[in-house]
Amino acid sequence: MIDFDTIIERRGTHSYKWDDPGQGRDVIPLWVADMDFPAPPAVTSALSARAANPIYGYTFAPEGLFQAFIRWHLRRNRWRVERDWVVPAPGVVPCLHYAVEAFTREGQGVVVQPPVYGPFFRAVEALGRRLTPNPLIRDGMRYRMNLEGLETLLDGGVGLLILCSPHNPVARVWDPEELLALGNLCRDRGVVIVSDDIHSDLIMPGKTFTPLAALGEDLAANSVTCSSPSKSFNIPGAGSAFAVIPDPEKRDAFRRAAERMGAMDMPNLFSAAAAEAAYREGEEWLEEVKSYIWDNYLFLEDFCRRRLPDLRVHPLEGTYVVWIDFRGLGLSAREMDTALRDARVRPSPGEIFGPGGEGFYRLNIACPRELLRQGLERIAAAFPGTGK
Ligand SMILES: Cc1ncc(COP(=O)(O)O)c(C=O)c1O
């Protein structure tokens, strides 16, 4: 059993989450999506071993890393990735930028499905493309994609769709039928799909992850899958990702775009060491961390039922971020932000995920249970009248 209960001090490590200068020292941060858990021991050993050789020169991606990545997907997702398809990159967000640059021209539409991870919007706008939102539909407590609305959008000259699979922040794991319907719509109109699968190893009980590109050669040929060990093994600071692009022309276009944007064909040496060790030896750790996160989710659900009954907690199908509807409190976004700030707890406000996020908060629950408990106590203290 790995110890995920111990609270490890992260302040003073230049942590985005813990050392944000505007935040105050005694705030419990439940925002940035990294875990407050130690990475798999094999990762720490690999990093120490690499650091022990004191020359940190230019490094290429080792063949063992590609093989570990390929075996991972075959074993866990029954997805057969060929070696040639894999393009290493420093992060998933850079891959999104390369894809927008590669497959669309200035002014052209790119579909995103809000509420969604904020950098999707930036990847489109920073490159002068037209943001084309296809908001998710909230059916009771379950979100779905608006495939009917999408058809009309796609016919309006869109070049690319950015899919979040599983979907941050609403924590949906898309079913094969949904992915197939989406994939077919885009394929028929020549609209490339970039599937951001960064959360795909974090699937909760009762759900199964299917990569869109595993659903058929035609869908694979029309896709770029962005995969990464960052979230899975809590190594996002090491910066590591892979774009999987089965179609050779699309792969060339992607590589050329990356070059134009200054990407180098050279990983950070520590990220390569961490990623290879994680894929080779991190599976048991991953299973344990998922189970701990799931228990945290059950703890949170129970806490909210008893102490914050005006909040509505969405099902956690995947990821370690929980999407919660705070609108039942009957307060404005400003009132809620102020109350949470005064209570010294910091979830992510829903607005940062675009249309449909207002009145919601996203809570990162990948932390020791005691920290989560304290965070929830502070949320309860922020809204003392709730449920009375
Ligand atoms: C959906 C999604 N994509 C990408 C990222 C970040 O990826 P990277 O750090 O590899 O650029 C995150 C981090 O929160 C995320 O949630």
Higher pLDDT, 156 or 252: 252
- Ligand 1 centroid – CA 93 distance (Å): 6
> So what's the pLDDT on residue 264?
82
Helices (H) and strands (E) in the chain, counts: 12, 14
Fold for 28-40+283-382, please state it. Answer: Aspartate Aminotransferase, domain 1 (3.90.1150)
Q: What are the φ/ψ torsions at residue 334 (nearest 5 degrees)?
A: -65, -45
The tens digit of pLDDT for each residue in 184-236 reads 999 999 999 999 999 999 999 999 999 999 999 999 999 999 999 999 999 99
Q: Which fold has domain 55-281?
A: Aspartate Aminotransferase; domain 2 (3.40.640)
* 28-40+283-382 and 55-281 share one fold: no
Asked whether 230 lines ligand 1 (CB < 6 A), one says: yes
Q: Where are the domains of the chain?
A: 28-40+283-382, 55-281
Express each pLDDT in 142-184 by its tens digit. 999 999 999 999 988 899 999 999 999 999 999 999 999 999 9
Q: How far does residue 323's CA lie from ligand 1's centre (Å)?
A: 17
pLDDT for res 1: 85
Pick from 95, 97, 230, 322 the residue to mutate for probing ligand 1's pocket: most ligand atoms within 8 Å of its CB: 230
Q: For 267-282, what is each residue's pLDDT tens digit?
A: 899 999 999 999 999 9
Between CA 328 and CA 331 the distance in angstroms is 8
Residue 230 Cα: closest atom of ligand 1: 10
How far is the C-alpha of 198 from the C-alpha of 202, rounded, in Å?
9
pLDDT at site 387: 56
Q: Is the pLDDT at 105 greater than 90, yes or no? A: yes
Q: Taking residues 55-72, what's their average pLDDT?
A: 96
Residue 113: per-residue pLDDT: 98
